[in-house]
């Protein structure tokens, strides 16, 4: 009987080419992991810088203009953030007060309800002196309202809708003046875009003045994110995706141009400075064109000569007020208690 | 009594060429699969944390969401690197056992994994952007 001797297994050594390929794959694996995770980490860092800045305090109140007002606090729609604002009653002849027609004023990015640079307090005062009550409030993350991430209107539209709910069913700041008969909106820059987004969802906003609105948040972010973060533009998509993961906001969905047609046939008045280098005046043309696609559209535009971004009111205050008052009067009708 | 090689092959059949390639590829794709699962889990936990802390205020919410997200990313890195290390060791064992095709297909799968991981970053270089003037 013969025994077959089994020879010990000789380990198969990889060839030179095989070793080279393996080394290449190792390098690729390391490089891809380092690049992908670094990209994600930098995107997250950009987001934390992008979405919040310390809130600016109010520099004055309507009392500094000799106007009566009440501090109000109301919840935003859906997420119930407690927003701070002023209710300024309209002033009629002989000093009588009215709250029949209320204008919700919406400030711009990183501002507040008194925003000095845009002349917001003075403008609110001018509206009140022309017989329109004003609800001026701080959007989330601004002024005295609670800190929140800046979302370019994605979340802020809930604040405008909360203001509408407050006027329609909240406690009356001046019970003797009763509930408002009609509600309209005025917004500047981010406030204007936010107002357009909110008005598309809320028919109670019966007329809108949109000063320096953008059509789409994305081109602004593609310009501003690299500038603010001092990083190349290819980090912008990562930062936008990270914003979705961290804050649940979708900047790709912030496109007033897509919803502005839903506002019609309610009247719209678009204002834009012709020297605006932050949001190009072509955005107004695009918004107006989109708004006119609906039948019975009531769309006005005013390209303000010499005005830079959100400075149309401060550049031509008297003409600005007279045009806006004429628009609101035509849209909302006269104050019945005035006669 | 002798043990013939033909008998042992009957008991534990050696994988054929396509089967060994398939097995090697699947094993090589394990790190990618684990990475996807861990990242999906981390994103789900992040969203849950955000919802749970919605009433706690912005700063508390942001802090905890970032902690969860960063911890999740660290976990993803550890799981991804660990699984790659294990597969490289297994490949070396296969190589020594003469299962070259299996080892080679696993290596190709790892190469593909590296490309899949880096593709999103490369895409951001190629994505058209239209920044406002």
**Residue A241 in domain:** no
pLDDT at B3: 43
Phi, psi of A73 (to 5 degrees): -130, 130
pLDDT higher at A66 or A50: A66
**What span, in angstroms and rounded, lies between the C-alpha atoms of B102 and B12?**
17
Domain count, chain A: 1
- What is the H or E stretch that residue A73 is in? strand A70-75
Per the structure, the complete domain to which residue A287 belongs is given by: 51-216+254-333
Find, among A82, A230, A85, A213, the residue nearest to A158 by Cα. A82
Per-residue DSSP letter, A8: P
**What span, in angstroms and rounded, lies between the C-alpha atoms of A134 and A129?**
10
**What span, in angstroms and rounded, lies between the C-alpha atoms of A151 and A250?**
8
For testing the chain A interface, which of B114, B116, B120, B133 should be mutated: the one with the most A CBs within 10 Å?
A: B114
Q: Do A35 and B118 touch (CB under 8 A)?
A: yes
DSSP H helices, A260-332, are 282-291, 312-315, 317-332
**Residue A284 in domain:** yes
Which residue's structure tokens are 């955000």?
Answer: B50
Beta strands A97-98 and A82-88: pairing type? unpaired
The angle formed by the CA atoms of residues B31, B35 and B41, to the nearest 5 degrees, is 145
Find, among A266, A257, A260, A270, the residue nearest to A297 by Cα. A266
3-class secondary structure, A70: strand
**What span, in angstroms and rounded, lies between the C-alpha atoms of A258 and A263?**
11
Beta strands A70-75 and A90-91: pairing type? unpaired
- B125: which chain A residues are within 8 Å (Cβ-Cβ)? 234
3-class secondary structure, B10: helix
**What span, in angstroms and rounded, lies between the C-alpha atoms of A311 and A307?**
6
DSSP states of A185-220 as a string?
Answer: EEEETHHHHHHHHHHHH-TTEEEEEEES--S-HHHH
Radius of gyration, alpha carbons of chain B: 22
Query: What is the pTM assigned to this prediction?
Result: 0.87
**What's A231-247 look like in SS3?**
CCHHHHHHHHHHHHHHH
CATH code (residue A295): 3.40.50.1820
| A194 touches A260 (CB < 8 A) | no
**Residue A233 in domain:** no
Give A62 to chain B, closest Cα distance, Å. Answer: 29
Least confident of A322-326, B12-16, B27-31: B12-16
- A5: which chain B residues are within 8 Å (Cβ-Cβ)? none
**Given A33, A52, A238, which is nearest B80 (Cβ)?**
A33
Report ipTM for this prediction: 0.82
What are the residues whose beta carbons fall under 8 Å from the beta carbon of B95, sequence distance 6 or more?
A11, A12, A13, A14, B103
**Residue A9 in domain:** no
Q: What is the mean pLDDT of residues B54-59?
A: 90
**Residue A21 in domain:** no
Summarised one tens digit per residue, pLDDT across range A140-170 is: 999 999 999 999 999 999 999 999 999 999 9
Minimal-distance CA residue of chain A relative to B130:
A219
Structure tokens at A8: 């010990």
**What span, in angstroms and rounded, lies between the C-alpha atoms of B102 and B108?**
10
**Residue A224 in domain:** no
The angle formed by the CA atoms of residues A157, A162 and A165, to the nearest 5 degrees, is 135
Summarised one tens digit per residue, pLDDT across range A244-291 is: 999 999 999 999 999 999 999 999 999 999 999 999 999 999 999 999
**What span, in angstroms and rounded, lies between the C-alpha atoms of A189 and A109?**
7
**What span, in angstroms and rounded, lies between the C-alpha atoms of A163 and B82?**
53
Give B58 to chain A, closest Cα distance, Å. Answer: 5
**What span, in angstroms and rounded, lies between the C-alpha atoms of A133 and A125?**
9
pLDDT higher at B97 or A183: A183
| Percent of chain B topping pLDDT 90 | 65
pLDDT at B8: 42
Q: Do B54 and A33 touch (CB under 8 A)?
A: no
Averaged pLDDT of chain B: 87
Assess B127–A contact: CB distance below 8 Å, yes or no. Answer: yes
Minimal-distance CA residue of chain B relative to A276:
B133
pLDDT at B13: 53
**What span, in angstroms and rounded, lies between the C-alpha atoms of A216 and B34?**
37
Averaged pLDDT of chain A: 92
Which residue's structure tokens are 């390929």?
Answer: A21
| A170 touches A178 (CB < 8 A) | no
**Residue A245 in domain:** no
Q: What is the mean pLDDT of residues A92-119?
A: 94
**Residue A248 in domain:** no
**What span, in angstroms and rounded, lies between the C-alpha atoms of A162 and A148?**
16
What's the gap between Cα B55 and its chain centre?
A: 36
Q: Do B129 and A222 touch (CB under 8 A)?
A: yes
């Amino acid at each position: 009987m013969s025994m077959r001797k089994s020879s010990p297994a000789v380990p198969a050594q990889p060839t030179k080419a095989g070793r080279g390929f393996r080394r290449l794959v190792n390098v690729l694996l390391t490089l891809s992991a380092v690049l992908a995770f670094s990209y994600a980490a930098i995107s997250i860092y950009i987001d934390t810088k992008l979405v919040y800045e310390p809130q600016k305090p109010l520099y004055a109140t309507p009392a500094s203009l000799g106007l009566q007002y009440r501090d109000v606090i109301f919840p935003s729609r859906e997420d119930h953030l407690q927003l701070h604002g002023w209710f300024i009653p309209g002033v009629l002849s002989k000093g009588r007060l009215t709250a029949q027609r209320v204008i919700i004023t919406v400030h711009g990015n990183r501002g507040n309800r008194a925003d000095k640079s845009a002349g917001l307090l003075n403008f609110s005062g001018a509206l009140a002196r022309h017989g329109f009550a004003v609800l001026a409030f701080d959007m989330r993350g601004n002024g005295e309202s609670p800190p929140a991430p800046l979302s370019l209107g994605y979340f802020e539209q809930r604040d405008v809708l909360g203001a509408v709910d407050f006027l329609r069913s909240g406690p009356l700041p001046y019970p003797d003046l009763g509930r408002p008969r009609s509600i309209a909106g005025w917004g500047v820059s981010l406030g204007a875009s936010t107002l357009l987004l909110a008005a598309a969802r809320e028919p109670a906003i019966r007329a809108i003045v949109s000063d320096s609105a953008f059509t789409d948040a994305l081109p602004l972010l593609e310009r501003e994110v690299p500038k603010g973060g001092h990083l190349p533009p290819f980090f912008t998509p990562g930062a936008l995706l990270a914003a979705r993961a961290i804050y649940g906001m979708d900047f790709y969905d912030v496109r007033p141009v897509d919803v502005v047609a839903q506002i019609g046939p309610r009247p719209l008045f678009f204002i834009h400075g012709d020297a605006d280098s932050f949001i190009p005046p072509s955005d107004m043309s695009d918004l107006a064109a989109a708004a006119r696609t609906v039948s019975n559209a009531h769309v006005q535009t005013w390209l303000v000569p010499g005005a830079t971004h959100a400075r149309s009111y401060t550049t031509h205050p008297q003409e600005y007020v007279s045009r806006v008052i004429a628009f609101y009067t035509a849209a909302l009708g006269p104050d019945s208690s005035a006669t | 009594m002798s043990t013939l090689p033909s008998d042992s092959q009957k008991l534990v059949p050696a994988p054929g060429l396509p089967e060994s390639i398939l097995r090697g590829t699947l094993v090589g794709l394990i790190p990618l699969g684990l990475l996807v699962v861990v990242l999906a889990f981390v994103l789900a936990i992040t969203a849950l944390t955000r919802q749970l802390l919605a009433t706690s205020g912005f700063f508390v919410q942001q802090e905890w969401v970032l902690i969860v997200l960063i911890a999740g990313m660290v976990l993803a890195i550890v799981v991804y690197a660990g699984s790659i290390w294990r597969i490289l060791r297994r490949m070396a064992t296969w190589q020594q056992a003469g299962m070259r095709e299996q080892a080679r297909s696993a290596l190709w799968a790892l190469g593909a994994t590296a490309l899949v991981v880096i593709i999103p970053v490369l895409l951001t270089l190629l994505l058209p952007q239209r920044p406002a003037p």
